[in-house]
């Protein structure tokens, strides 16, 4: 008979096809994988299952009618993909200050004065210091001419177009100039303004310090507190402009982060303030007690997030009884818009990201199996728990022996299992994996592009330093005989196979690499330690001699090495699986499903 083991994952659906003889001799024939359609464990998966079966059968010139039995992994009762929201105490305010940091300022130092349109600065104006506003209707030559001819003390300029350097090079005396101010018409006139431009290679010192701003504008303690987001948004920048806007424009609203409540099976509960960060949240979550559910306080960020998560998953699983059985919390810096800003300035605010594993009382996998069977006319069964099946699949890696410990690094969850020679298996299933890392990278870099964030996670980076060479993130320099595209000159790029994909961001190569590695450490390293401790004897990691890595994320170019570094102090040897000697770390669950049937028939 021909058996197909189908592993429905959070990101991909994989299949292993084999024929089983009368004497239980097993011949593996084909395998394939496709992106999972819909949320794992729901009827939306059927389209992906049919696609992966067709792809694998096409390789051996067979069709679905040639399959006698389909075995599905037991994705129920855990049906949750991972979800992330930023949870922080957010202050929404029409700031009394406005900040800006363009790419191409000119000049150097501090300039303070009243804002005035350049073309309106007449001799009749009072004899005081001014910051001139130059709209796009005035060219750089005319602007420089008017500034040079003015009898007034002009201490700086704010320019709408990207012409700061062009104007500066034509001036008789140096002044700091800020350009690229898109919404220049919103600048209040007649107000006190300060411009700061640092020397090349330096960063501003005064306008990135709230007390420096307070000193320049003679602010009260309350006004100083309100300009902290502006000062924070300008830390590390080369230039800035801060303008005091008219009074009476301050409106403040607090959205509390809220409190996470963890309910345990024994009837007890723990509560932790989200504002206290991920470490305290994980201390409450990682207890020896079995979690029944989690909830957040009403009208808070955490409350809205969990309520929305349960509602959405309840709809997909057609279940009104949805519980959260595990969560992974990590600290993250989130770029947040500064209200009252001129050009979309952002402030990096601390937040907590949450990946939750959701359990439903319903049996969606049984319904999925029946629906698939009715659709294609092939007997379909839900065969086994993922961790157990992954262990069986990992046994096909040459050199493995009992007890076998596997770490399944997937897209939505991190699983661990220990398989004893007696056949006894201990498994754990934790929320948070590859997809969560992608979201963290996307959020911290402010990309708003999950596809680019996924590539940043999966491939090494480089800086294009000339049209004929790049500097890899390792420091190695690579030269080319033919010129590279001018479109990527000076940019940080993703080295994806033979292509160079530019990352549209102001962040440096070093900053992007740091964020990528930190995201992997926060998610995979933390979850790996949690998972392995859960299956180890006495929760003692030193009792685990070696670990076989399986799953799509085990193919990551740096995660196996990172895990090895963190687990070596415990005496644990880590290596990627070679499923059936041909699949690498992939296809472990699908292969295990087929192997599980050998002992049953």
Q: Which of 198, 220, 244 is the last residue of a domain?
A: 244
The set of residues, in sequence order, having a beta carbon less than 8 Å from that of 347 and lying 6+ positions away, is 229, 230, 232, 233, 335, 336, 338
* Residue 318 Rama label (left phi>0; alpha psi -120 to 50; beta): left
pLDDT, position 347:
62
Three-class SS of 552-576: HHHHCCCHHHHHHHHHHHHCCEEEE
Residues 103 and 218 in one domain: yes
pLDDT, position 325:
86
Q: Which of 349, 376, 405 is the last residue of a domain?
A: 349
Residues 344 and 368 in one domain: no
pLDDT, position 361:
55
Q: Helices in 286-363 by DSSP H: which ranges?
A: 301-317
Residues 149 and 38 in one domain: no
Note whether residue 307 is domain-resident: yes
Low-confidence ranges of the chain (pLDDT < 50): 76-84, 89-95, 248-252, 600-601
CA-based nearest residue to 102, from 9, 185, 171, 177: 177
Residues 215 and 314 in one domain: no
Note whether residue 549 is domain-resident: no
3-state helix, strand, coil in the chain (%, to 5): 30, 30, 35
Note whether residue 192 is domain-resident: yes
Three-class SS of 394-424: HCCCCCCCCCEEEEEECCCEEEEEEECCCCC
Residues 61 and 112 in one domain: no
Q: Do 84 and 327 form a contact (C-beta atoms < 8 A)?
A: no
Note whether residue 356 is domain-resident: no
Q: Do 595 and 10 form a contact (C-beta atoms < 8 A)?
A: no
Which structure tokens are listed for 397?
């890696």
Residues 108 and 237 in one domain: yes
Helices 434-445, 450-458: inter-axial angle, 10-degree rounding = 110
Q: Which of 478, 495, 516 is the last residue of a domain?
A: 516
Three-class SS of 49-64: HHHHHHHHHHCCCCCH
The structure tokens 């999950």 sit at 450
d(CA 542, CA 563): 15
d(CA 146, CA 307): 60
d(CA 573, CA 300): 44
The domain spanning residue 62 has which CATH number? 3.30.420.40
* Residue 443 Rama label (left phi>0; alpha psi -120 to 50; beta): alpha
Q: Helices in 523-558 by DSSP H: which ranges?
A: 526-535
List residues bridging with 454 in a β-sheet. Answer: none
Note whether residue 234 is domain-resident: yes
pLDDT, position 189:
87
List residues bridging with 499 in a β-sheet. Answer: 496
Note whether residue 283 is domain-resident: yes
Provide the number of structural domains found in the chain.
Answer: 4
Residues 142 and 230 in one domain: yes
Dihedral of the CA atoms 196, 200, 201, 205 (nearest 10)?
-20
Task: Name the phi and psi angles at 574, rounded to 5.
Answer: -120, 135
The set of residues, in sequence order, having a beta carbon less than 8 Å from that of 600 and lying 6+ positions away, is none
The domain spanning residue 324 has which CATH number? 3.90.470.30
Residues 212 and 309 in one domain: no
d(CA 52, CA 35): 9
Q: Do 523 and 471 form a contact (C-beta atoms < 8 A)?
A: no
Residues 179 and 145 in one domain: yes
The domain spanning residue 481 has which CATH number? 2.40.50.140
Residues 113 and 140 in one domain: yes
Q: Do 550 and 353 form a contact (C-beta atoms < 8 A)?
A: no
Note whether residue 204 is domain-resident: yes
Give the model confidence (pLDDT) of 468-482 as tens digits.
999 999 999 999 999
Residues 259 and 343 in one domain: yes
Residues 66 and 104 in one domain: no
Q: How many C-beta atoms lie closer than 10 Å to residue 291's C-beta?
A: 20
Please state whether the predicted TM-score (pTM) of the whole model is above 0.95: no
CA-based nearest residue to 260, from 250, 249, 270: 270
Note whether residue 116 is domain-resident: yes
The set of residues, in sequence order, having a beta carbon less than 8 Å from that of 306 and lying 6+ positions away, is 294, 295, 296, 324, 356
The domain spanning residue 173 has which CATH number? 3.50.30.70
Three-class SS of 337-357: ECCCCCCCCEEEEEEEEEEEE
Could you list the residue range(s) of the whole structural domain that residue 333 is in?
Answer: 254-349
The structure tokens 């009104």 sit at 320
d(CA 435, CA 181): 37
pLDDT, position 339:
55
Element (H, E) at 12: strand 12-20
CA distances from 186 to 103, 179, 347 (A): 20, 15, 20
d(CA 439, CA 397): 32
Q: Helices in 318-446 by DSSP H: which ranges?
A: 364-376, 386-394, 434-445
């Amino acid at each position: 008979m021909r058996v197909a083991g189908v592993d429905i994952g959070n990101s991909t659906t994989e299949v292993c096809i084999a024929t089983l003889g009368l004497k239980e001799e097993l011949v593996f024939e084909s395998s394939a994988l496709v992106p999972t359609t819909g949320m794992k464990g729901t009827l939306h998966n059927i389209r992906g299952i049919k696609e992966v079966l067709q792809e694998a059968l096409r390789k051996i010139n067979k069709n679905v009618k040639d399959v006698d039995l389909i075995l599905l992994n037991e994705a129920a009762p855990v049906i949750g993909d991972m979800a992330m929201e930023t949870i922080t105490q957010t202050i929404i305010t029409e700031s009394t200050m406005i900040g800006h940091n363009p790419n191409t300022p000119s000049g150097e130092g501090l300039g303070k004065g009243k804002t005035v349109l350049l073309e309106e600065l007449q001799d009749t104006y009072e004899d005081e210091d001014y910051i001139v506003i130059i709209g796009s209707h005035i060219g750089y030559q005319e602007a420089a001419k008017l500034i040079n001819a003015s009898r007034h003390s002009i201490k700086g300029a704010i320019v709408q177009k990207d012409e700061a350097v062009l104007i500066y090079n034509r001036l008789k005396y140096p002044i700091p100039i800020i350009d690229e101010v898109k919404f220049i018409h919103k600048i209040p006139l007649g107000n006190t303004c300060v411009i700061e431009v640092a020397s090349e290679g330096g960063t501003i010192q005064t306008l990135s310090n709230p007390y420096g701003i307070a000193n320049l504008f003679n602010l009260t303690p309350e006004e100083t507190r309100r300009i902290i987001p502006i000062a924070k948004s300008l830390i590390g920048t080369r230039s800035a402009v801060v303008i005091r806007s008219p009074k009476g424009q301050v409106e403040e609203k607090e959205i509390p982060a809220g409190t996470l409540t963890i309910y345990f099976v024994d009837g007890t509960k723990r509560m932790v303030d989200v504002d206290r960060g991920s470490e305290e949240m994980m201390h409450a979550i990682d207890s020896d007690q079995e979690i029944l559910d989690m909830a957040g306080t009403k009208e808070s960020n955490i409350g809205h997030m969990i309520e929305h998560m349960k509602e959405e998953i309840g709809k997909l699983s057609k279940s009104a009884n949805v519980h959260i059985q595990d969560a992974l919390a990590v600290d993250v810096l989130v770029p947040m818009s500064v209200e009252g800003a001129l050009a979309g300035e952002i402030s990096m605010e601390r937040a907590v990201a949450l990946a939750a594993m959701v359990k439903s009382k319903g049996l969606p996998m049984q319904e999925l199996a029946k629906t698939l069977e009715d659709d294609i006319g092939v007997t379909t069964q839900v065969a086994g728990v993922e961790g157990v099946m992954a262990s069986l699949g990992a046994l096909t890696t040459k050199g493995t022996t009992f007890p076998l410990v596997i770490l399944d690094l997937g897209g939505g969850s991190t699983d661990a299992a220990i398989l004893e020679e007696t056949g006894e298996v201990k498994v754990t299933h934790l929320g948070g994996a590859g997809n969560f890392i992608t979201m963290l990278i996307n959020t911290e870099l402010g990309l708003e592009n999950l596809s680019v964030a996924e590539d940043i996670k999966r491939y090494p980076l480089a800086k294009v330093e000339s049209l004929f060479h790049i500097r890899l993130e390792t420091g190695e320099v690579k030269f080319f005989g033919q010129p590279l595209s001018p479109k990527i000159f000076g940019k940080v790029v993703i080295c994806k196979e033979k292509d160079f994909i530019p990352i549209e961001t102001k962040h440096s190569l070093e900053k992007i690499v740091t964020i990528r590695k930190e995201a992997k450490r926060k998610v995979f390293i933390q979850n790996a330690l949690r998972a392995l401790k859960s299956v180890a004897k006495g929760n003692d990691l030193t009792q685990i001699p070696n670990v076989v890595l399986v799953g799509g994320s085990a193919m990551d170019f740096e995660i196996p090495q990172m895990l090895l570094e963190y687990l070596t102090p415990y005496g644990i040897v880590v290596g990627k699986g070679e499923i059936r000697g041909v699949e690498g770390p992939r296809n472990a669950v699908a292969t295990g499903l087929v192997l599980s049937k050998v002992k049953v028939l």
